[in-house]
Amino acid sequence: MVTTKKVILVLCLTLASCDQGDGILAGYRAVEVDDGSVMLVRGQFAAIPPHVAKYRLLDHYIIGLRKEPFDPETMTGKLGYFIINTNNNEIMQGLTQDDLINSLSELGLEFDDLLFP
């Protein structure tokens, strides 16, 4: 069973062993970790843990999708779509596609099939 201490240790080691990443927006970076997966970080903290399959910028939001890792032992956080508001750093995770569409609508944004082809 994965304990909280193990998860924290893995995230700390992951941050220490990953590249500097590509800047996205408002201090967030996409960082590739040793197993080739991508995580989103802000400063030294994991905003979205590894296994980010894709992400896009829409206005001042980072919208993306986390998929299940090949090794379930490395799983942390919630799978599904996520939205990061870069103005206030609020993060919504574990969204279904319907949840994402509704959340974007509430934010005054539209879901577009081109967002996630």
Distance CA 5, CA 95 (A): 26
Q: What's the domain count of the chain?
A: 1
**Phi/psi zone of residue 79: left (φ > 0), alpha (ψ -120 to 50 degrees), beta?**
beta
Strand ranges in the chain using DSSP code E only, listed in sequence order = 22-25, 28-32, 38-42, 45-48, 52-58, 61-66, 80-85, 90-95
The pTM for the full model equals: 0.73
Is 45 among the domain residues? yes
Is 65 among the domain residues? yes
Is 116 among the domain residues? no
For 29, the 3-state DSSP assignment is: strand
Q: Give 38's strand partners.
A: 32
Is 112 among the domain residues? no
Is 115 among the domain residues? no
pLDDT in tens, 30-89: 998 877 789 999 988 889 988 899 998 888 999 999 987 666 665 667 889 999 999 999
User: Which range of residues forms the domain containing residue 9?
Assistant: 4-106
